[in-house]
């Protein structure tokens, strides 16, 4: 599975991200995946803010699915692996895998669907060519 990933982003689990059971609160995984996607764009030479404001490449979430296989704990260093599963005209599907650093057992897996977004008109729009070329280079 790791071999499918085109990018990995480290995440250091902080105390404030834990639930009363002492494990990472499930809702934080959306933030981890969003951060990893932002870091992917940065690795390609663009901050997300630049993509949105200067290149009209704004996106928003349409859907998230998660499968929780094991738990992460305070001070763990996680590796969020990304690979792009589908690229349509107005959306793309990002698959992700989350591992504890140095381990091969999956903690979390899932998908996020992002849609091109026109914030002025509050409507969907096509994914820009710039973003397309980063996601699925020819």
The fraction of the chain above a pLDDT of 70, given in percent, is 99
Q: How much is the pLDDT for 60?
A: 94
What is the distance between the alpha carbons of residues 104 and 115, in angstroms, rounded to a whole number? 31
Nearest partner of 96 among 86, 82, 78, judged by Cα: 82
Domain range enclosing 13: 2-135
Residue 87's SS3 state is strand
Number of domains, the chain: 1
Q: How much is the pLDDT for 132?
A: 95
What is the distance between the alpha carbons of residues 121 and 79, in angstroms, rounded to a whole number? 36
**DSSP secondary structure letter of residue 73:** B
Outline where 1-138 has alpha helix (H). 28-43, 48-55, 129-135
CATH number for the domain spanning 61: value is: 3.10.129.10
Q: How much is the pLDDT for 138?
A: 67
Q: Tens digit of pLDDT for each residue in 5-22?
A: 999 999 999 999 999 999
Q: How much is the pLDDT for 136?
A: 87
């Amino acid at each position: 599975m790791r071999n499918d990933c085109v990018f990995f982003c480290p995440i250091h689990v902080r105390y404030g991200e834990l639930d009363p059971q002492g494990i990472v609160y499930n809702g934080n995984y959306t933030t981890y995946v969003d951060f990893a996607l932002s870091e992917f764009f940065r690795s390609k030479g663009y901050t997300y803010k630049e993509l949105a404001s200067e290149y009209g490449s704004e996106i928003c979430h349409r859907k998230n699915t998660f499968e929780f296989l094991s738990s992460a704990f305070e001070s763990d260093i996680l590796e969020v692996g990304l690979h792009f599963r589908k690229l349509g005209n107005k959306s793309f599907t990002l698959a992700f895998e989350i591992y504890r650093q140095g381990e091969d057992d999956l903690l979390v897996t899932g998908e996020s669907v992002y849609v091109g977004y026109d914030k002025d008109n509050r409507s969907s729009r096509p994914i820009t060519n710039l973003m397309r070329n980063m996601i699925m280079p020819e």
